[in-house]
């Protein structure tokens, strides 16, 4: 679960980082371990389910080096700004497609991109 929460939280940060005051915090994580891994490498991929202004929902799948699904998790992340009123925040969504491509394409614990 630690890897799943780390990937989802970083993914939310990458989506929200256009705003220098943006802060992200995981508020709920749940998942199932479906395949044991005792050695080797695991790879986790975070995919957005919904990206709202204040909440992000992620599905994170973790596979072993033989591509067996080891863990499937869901994460809810609260996105906010530290002490800045909403009307003063500036969020740019112009680069969102590129960021999502990065997140869905190569955000993993052993990324070689």
Span 2-84+92-106 CATH architecture: Roll (3.10)
- CA–CA dist 33, 9 (Å, integer): 20
pLDDT computed for residue 85 by the predictor = 57
Pull the structure tokens for residue 78: 């609260």
Q: Does 5 participate in catalysis according to the annotation?
A: yes
pLDDT truncated to tens, each residue of the chain (113 aa)? Answer: 889 999 999 999 888 877 777 889 999 999 999 999 988 899 999 999 999 989 999 999 999 999 999 999 999 999 987 655 555 544 444 444 444 444 444 444 444 43
Residue-level pLDDT at 95? 44
Residue identified by tokens 């080891």 is 70
Q: Which residue has the tokens 């993993």?
A: 108
- All structural domains of the chain with their residue ranges: 2-84+92-106
CA-to-CA distance for 70 and 85, rounded, in angstroms?
Answer: 41
Residue count (the chain): 113
What is the pLDDT at residue 87?
54
Q: Which pLDDT score, from 0 to 100, does residue 112 have?
A: 41
Q: Which of 3, 4, 5, 70 is catalytic?
A: 5
């Amino acid at each position: 679960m630690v890897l799943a929460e780390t990937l989802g939280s970083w993914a939310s940060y990458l989506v929200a980082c256009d705003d220098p005051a943006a802060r992200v915090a995981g508020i709920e994580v749940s998942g199932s371990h479906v395949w044991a891994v005792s050695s080797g490498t695991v790879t986790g991929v975070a995919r957005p389910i919904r990206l709202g202004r204040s909440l992000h929902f992620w599905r994170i799948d973790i596979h072993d080096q033989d591509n067996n699904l080891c863990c499937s998790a869901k994460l809810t992340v609260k996105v906010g700004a530290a002490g800045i009123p909403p009307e003063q925040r500036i969020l740019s969504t112009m680069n969102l497609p590129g960021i999502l491509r990065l997140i869905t394409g190569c955000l993993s614990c052993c990324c070689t991109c």
